[in-house]
């Protein structure tokens, strides 16, 4: 089907979050980026001509990029190989949205009049009183004219084949469009055409200069600055090709489901600058952005990136900040770090073709993170608090030697069964780690020996794949189950399923989170990743923590840590966290007694002590999967671990465990619930 | 050759791309033209006829010489994208190909194809199924 879309309700944000292309009555969202429908018209492509269009990952991302540019009213220039489907994708989106298309191919076009229009003999002239010549719009002028609700897209194909006089004229058009001004038709007695960038979108398409496109000359980098320049592949990757072929043969659904982190949700309107500057962290991130911009320019200038790209470009000092600002105004939805990272990916990383080059910028972008002060409770901090607390206050003395030596030593002390290292992670998830991305083991020999005596395990946690994809619950489960060959881990004598790894009501055979799973629409759960780094954790729940509410379980964790890890005295960071806990404990208990679970769970999950001593549920799932691959299944005794640092929207603290025959599950329960199968695990990063 | 051509013409039904037939010389080109005419393809002699053929969902063929003009290129380049627009000197025109019913076949001699490919525009980049003996 051409429009393989799913409808979502007006208030169905959660449903919308799961639908790669979501159609509403008045709009369509492409991986979250929502565009208004246009009024159709004669020049609107017909939907039936896109029945064979496959909404595979590459094409969904391409549509999202285009939608993002249109959302921001930015003229866009896409450079990519001739057969990757640039024009078809634009037209397919116009068919979806009811936008009219005005197309012109600049390969060989010599006259500005071909684009803007000209006087032609009046074929309708009936007598000498009627004009001998009449004006006829070219495709660009026709696309610029406003007509009620119609939205028009001007496609300038093979843009880098255009003659200089045409490019100059088009720049005049772009400048007027940017300020919603008037395009003066010098070709038509200086007629002034009022233009509006919300009604006219301009998209230029080019093939890469050189590389088999011999007549294509590189554009002057200065010409590119007017455009939101996006570099696409010269040819489709093997994965894209393979995925599209699978879809063509009906072996895969015609719309690929995408992980939540691929979505980019837009606001209905731009956030005013006055509001934006009040967002906590904005000032700090602006400072970091300035450094990032300069660093990116240096990399480009020194040919450390984009060395192989024949089309030179710049990171423009004036345009890039403006575009980044506009992006944030359109797409900030409560997580300041995420929106900044996505903006920088969109405008900086997407100009690069080579994966290694992209990775260089992504590494810098990863470091652009606002860490909020712990005591703050202001909006937009929710995600940052765990990060802030994860930063060690006191410098720790880790193992000596190279990382390989550290791993060898730790494994020798702890034993194979209680050590989850890089090899185990690779075998579980089926990817190859970059050794340089693996942190040093921050624990001393004495500390490792202490944990060995307790029966703790040391786990190397990741928060993303080597390709930079976030290791969300679904990413972990799909990758691990892909390696295992399915969710069924045991069969009976007849070959029927006897046991599953993950709960069948929540995960499908491929490990994808089912839409019916209670947490699938909970962005704060499904989008979160394990806390990265080396972690000591008790493999199963601590016996003293069972049959206790969350507050009492925190007390158990504190006592356990204080006596076992720190010889009876907390270091400064933990001592401060304990103080905070004591100061808030009564308030939390009061809220719990009044059944105010949303508030109480939020307070618990924001406690510094929760972040320090309780294991996030994503980490529990991570080590459950790796442990199983290593030969040991955790949580098989019907018990759940309760995480104090994650809550559901209805006020439940998150649980994981109960790996019975139908598989381990993610659950949630009120913070005052206490039963014999519910406990806490000790965790130390 | 007649059978080969007919087999090829059966294959192009439903194609969303332009199809190309390369004749080894002018003599073979005449044979090919006759064969495609025999199975119901209508000859288009200019841009307007190509455009109308696409618009009407007809099966058409067009014989290219040794140049690929801007206007023809503009139309051919769009065929597989689901919509074709053009300016006929009087106004902007639009056609939506009916891939199930219609088809567009380009006929050319080997020599002329070579000349075109040596120029600025590539015909081979625009076409899908291709026949030559």
Q: Do A87 and B125 touch (CB under 8 A)?
A: no
| Predicted confidence band of residue A570 (pLDDT cuts 50, 70, 90) | confident
Q: What are phi and psi of A477, to 5 degrees?
A: -65, -40
Q: Do B96 and A46 touch (CB under 8 A)?
A: yes
Q: What six digits make up the tokens of B102?
A: 């219609």
Chain-centroid distance, C-alpha A339: 9
All residues of chain B having their beta carbon less than 8 Å from the beta carbon of residue A92 are: 82
**Dihedral of CA A670/A674/A675/A679: which sign?**
positive
Predicted pLDDT of residue A86: 96
Predicted pLDDT of residue A29: 94
Query: A34: helix, coil or strand?
Result: strand
Q: What is the mean pLDDT of residues A46-71?
A: 94
Predicted pLDDT of residue A4: 37
Predicted pLDDT of residue A396: 56
CB contact set of A291 (below 8 Å; sequence gap of 6+): none
Cα–Cα distance list, A452 to A538, B22, B37 (Å):
10, 76, 85
Predicted pLDDT of residue A253: 85
Q: Does the pLDDT value for residue A386 go beyond 50?
A: no
Tell me which residue of B124, B99, B106 sits closest to A212, measured CA to CA.
B124
In tens, the pLDDT along A110-138 reads 689 989 998 888 888 888 888 899 899 99
Q: What is the mean pLDDT of residues A615-623?
A: 95
CA gap A310, A314 in Å, rounded: 13
CA gap A446, A399 in Å, rounded: 10
Count CB-CB contacts under 10 A for residue B51: 22
Cα–Cα distance list, A447 to A422, A535, A544, A615 (Å):
20, 12, 22, 19
Smallest CA–CA distance, residue A108 to chain B, in Å, is: 6
Predicted pLDDT of residue A381: 34
Predicted pLDDT of residue B53: 94
Count CB-CB contacts under 10 A for residue A660: 15
Q: Does the pLDDT value for residue A494 go beyond 70?
A: yes
Smallest CA–CA distance, residue A193 to chain B, in Å, is: 18
A–B interface: beta-carbon pairs under 8 A: 75
Q: Does the pLDDT value for residue A641 go beyond 70?
A: yes
* A129 vs B78, more confident: B78
Q: Count the helix, strand and coil residues of chain A and give each as a percent rounded to the nearest 5.
A: 40, 15, 40
Predicted pLDDT of residue A128: 86
ipTM of this complex prediction, to 2 decimal places: 0.88
Q: Does the pLDDT value for residue A387 go beyond 70?
A: no
Nearest CA in chain A to B15: A52
> How would DSSP label each residue in A140-191?
HHHHHS--TT--EEEEEETGGGS-HHHHHHHHHHHHHHHTT-EEEEGGGTTE
Q: What is the mean pLDDT of residues A549-563?
A: 93
The verdict on pTM exceeding 0.80 is: no
Nearest CA in chain B to A115: B87
Predicted pLDDT of residue B111: 96
Cα–Cα distance list, B78 to B16, B86, B125 (Å):
11, 10, 12
Contact (CB, 8 A) for A105 and B73: yes
CA gap A515, A12 in Å, rounded: 13
CA gap B30, A147 in Å, rounded: 49
* A8 vs A483, more confident: A483
Q: Do A137 and B121 touch (CB under 8 A)?
A: no
Predicted pLDDT of residue B127: 93
Q: Do A107 and B87 touch (CB under 8 A)?
A: no
Query: A549: helix, coil or strand?
Result: coil
Q: Does the pLDDT value for residue A330 go beyond 90?
A: yes
Count CB-CB contacts under 10 A for residue A159: 26
Q: Does B90 touch chain A (CB under 8 A)?
A: yes
All residues of chain A having their beta carbon less than 8 Å from the beta carbon of residue B81 are: 87-88, 91
CB contact set of A287 (below 8 Å; sequence gap of 6+): none
Predicted pLDDT of residue A536: 95
Predicted pLDDT of residue A12: 37
Q: Does B118 touch chain A (CB under 8 A)?
A: no
Q: Does the pLDDT value for residue A36 go beyond 90?
A: yes
Smallest CA–CA distance, residue B82 to chain A, in Å, is: 5
Q: Does the pLDDT value for residue A48 go beyond 60?
A: yes
In tens, the pLDDT along A261-307 reads 899 988 777 889 998 888 889 999 999 999 999 999 999 998 899 98
Cα–Cα distance list, A398 to A444, A458, A535, A676, B49 (Å):
5, 14, 13, 37, 79
Predicted pLDDT of residue A521: 85
Q: What is the mean pLDDT of residues B11-38?
A: 93
Q: What is the mean pLDDT of residues A70-90?
A: 94
Predicted pLDDT of residue A375: 43
What residues of chain B, 31 to 70, have a C-beta less than 8 Å from chain A? 70
Predicted pLDDT of residue A552: 94
> For chain A, what is the mean pLDDT?
87
CA gap A567, A577 in Å, rounded: 17
Beta strands, E only, A483-560: 488-491, 497-500, 533-537
Q: What are phi and psi of A35, to 5 degrees?
A: -120, 145
Query: A219: helix, coil or strand?
Result: coil
Phi-psi region of A631 (alpha: psi -120 to 50; beta: other; left: phi over 0): left
* A236 vs B110, more confident: B110
Smallest CA–CA distance, residue B93 to chain A, in Å, is: 8
Q: Does A136 touch chain B (CB under 8 A)?
A: yes
Side-chain-side CA neighbours of B84 within 13 Å: the count stands at: 30
CA gap A174, A164 in Å, rounded: 15
Predicted pLDDT of residue A215: 57
Q: What are phi and psi of A296, to 5 degrees?
A: -65, -40
Contact (CB, 8 A) for B62 and B107: yes
| Predicted confidence band of residue A650 (pLDDT cuts 50, 70, 90) | confident
Q: What are phi and psi of B41, to 5 degrees?
A: -75, 135
| Predicted confidence band of residue A559 (pLDDT cuts 50, 70, 90) | very high
Which of A49, A103, A136 shows the shortest C-beta gap to B91? A136
Tell me which residue of A454, A429, A435 sits closest to A443, measured CA to CA.
A454
Q: Is A472 exposed, middle or buried (0-12, 13-18, 19+ CB in 10 A)?
A: buried
Q: Quick one: three-class SS letters along A550-577?
A: HHHHHHHHHHHHHHHCCCCCCCHHHHHH
């Amino acid at each position: 089907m051409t429009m393989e879309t799913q409808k979502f309700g007006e208030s169905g944000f959660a449903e919308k979050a799961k639908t790669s292309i979501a159609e509403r009555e008045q709009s369509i969202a492409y991986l979250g980026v929502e565009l208004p429908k246009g009024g159709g018209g004669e020049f609107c492509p017909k939907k039936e001509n896109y029945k064979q269009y496959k909404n595979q990952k590459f094409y969904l991302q391409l549509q999202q990029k285009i939608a993002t540019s249109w959302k921001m009213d930015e003229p866009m220039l896409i450079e990519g190989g001739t057969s990757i489907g640039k024009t078809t994708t634009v037209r397919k989106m116009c068919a979806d949205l009811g936008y009219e298309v005005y197309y012109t191919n600049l390969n060989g076009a010599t006259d500005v009049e071909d684009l803007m229009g000209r006087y032609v003999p009046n074929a309708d002239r009936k007598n000498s009183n009627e004009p001998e010549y009449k004006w006829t719009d070219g495709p660009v002028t026709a696309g610029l004219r406003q007509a009620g609700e119609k939205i028009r897209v001007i496609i300038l194909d093979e843009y880098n084949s255009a003659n200089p006089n045409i490019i100059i004229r088009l720049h005049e058009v772009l400048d007027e469009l940017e300020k919603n001004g008037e395009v003066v038709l010098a070709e038509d007695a200086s007629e002034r055409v009022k233009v509006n960038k919300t009604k006219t979108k301009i998209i230029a398409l080019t093939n890469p200069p050189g590389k088999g496109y011999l007549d294509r000359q590189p554009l002057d980098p200065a010409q590119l600055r007017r455009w939101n320049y996006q570099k696409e592949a010269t040819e489709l990757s093997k994965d894209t090709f393979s995925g599209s072929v699978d879809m063509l043969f009906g072996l895969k659904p015609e719309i690929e489901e995408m992980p939540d982190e691929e979505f980019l949700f837009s606001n209905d309107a731009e956030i005013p600058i006055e509001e934006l500057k009040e967002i906590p962290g904005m000032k700090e991130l602006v400072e970091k952005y300035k450094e990032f911009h300069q660093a990116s320019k240096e990399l480009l200038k020194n040919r450390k990136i984009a060395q192989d790209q024949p089309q030179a470009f710049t990171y423009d000092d004036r345009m890039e900040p403006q575009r980044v600002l506009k992006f944030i105004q359109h797409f900030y939805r409560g997580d300041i770090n995420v929106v900044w990272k996505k903006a920088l990916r969109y405008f900086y990383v997407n100009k690069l073709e080579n994966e290694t080059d992209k990775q260089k910028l992504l590494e810098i972008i990863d470091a652009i993170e606002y860490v909020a002060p712990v005591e703050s409770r202001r909006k937009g901090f929710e995600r940052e608090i765990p990060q802030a607390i994860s930063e060690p206050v006191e410098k720790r003395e880790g193992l000596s030697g190279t990382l390989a030596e550290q791993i060898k030593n730790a494994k020798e002390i702890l034993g194979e069964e209680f050590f989850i290292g890089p090899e185990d992670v690779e075998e579980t998830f089926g990817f190859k780690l970059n050794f340089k991305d693996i942190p040093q083991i921050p624990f001393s020999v004495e500390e490792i020996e202490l944990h060995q005596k307790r029966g703790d395990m040391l786990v190397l946690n990741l928060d993303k794949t080597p390709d930079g994809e976030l290791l969300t619950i679904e990413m972990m489960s799909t990758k691990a189950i892909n390696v295992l060959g399915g969710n069924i881990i045991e069969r009976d004598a007849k070959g029927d399923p006897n046991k599953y790894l993950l709960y069948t009501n929540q995960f499908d055979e491929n490990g994808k989170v089912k839409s019916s799973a209670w947490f699938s629409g909970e962005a704060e759960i499904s989008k979160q990743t394990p806390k990265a780094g080396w972690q000591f954790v008790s493999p199963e729940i601590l016996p003293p923590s069972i049959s206790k509410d969350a507050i009492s379980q925190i007390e158990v964790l504190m006592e356990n840590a204080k006596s076992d890890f720190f010889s009876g005295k907390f270091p400064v960071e933990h001592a401060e966290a304990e103080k905070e806990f004591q100061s808030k404990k009564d308030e939390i208990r009061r809220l719990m007694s009044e059944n105010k679970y949303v508030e109480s769970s939020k307070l618990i999950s924001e406690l510094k002590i929760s972040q320090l001593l309780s294991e996030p549920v994503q980490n529990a799932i991570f080590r459950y999967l790796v442990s199983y691959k290593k030969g040991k299944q955790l949580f098989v005794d019907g018990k759940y671990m309760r995480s104090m640092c994650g809550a559901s929207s209805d006020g439940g603290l998150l649980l994981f465990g109960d790996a019975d025959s139908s598989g381990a599950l993610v659950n949630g329960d009120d913070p005052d619930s206490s039963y014999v199968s519910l406990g806490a695990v000790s965790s130390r990063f | 050759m007649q059978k080969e051509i007919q087999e090829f013409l059966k294959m192009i039904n439903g194609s969303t791309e332009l199809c190309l037939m390369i004749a080894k010389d002018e003599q073979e080109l005449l044979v090919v033209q006759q064969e495609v005419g025999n199975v119901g393809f209508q000859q288009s002699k200019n841009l307007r006829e190509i455009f109308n053929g696409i618009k009407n969902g007809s099966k058409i063929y067009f014989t290219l010489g040794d140049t690929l003009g801007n206007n023809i290129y503009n139309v051919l380049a769009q065929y597989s994208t689901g919509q074709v627009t053009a300016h006929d000197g009087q106004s902007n025109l639009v056609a939506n190909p009916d891939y199930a019913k219609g088809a567009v076949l380009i006929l050319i001699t080997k020599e002329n194809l070579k000349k075109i490919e040596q120029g600025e525009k590539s015909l081979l980049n625009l076409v899908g199924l291709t026949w030559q003996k």
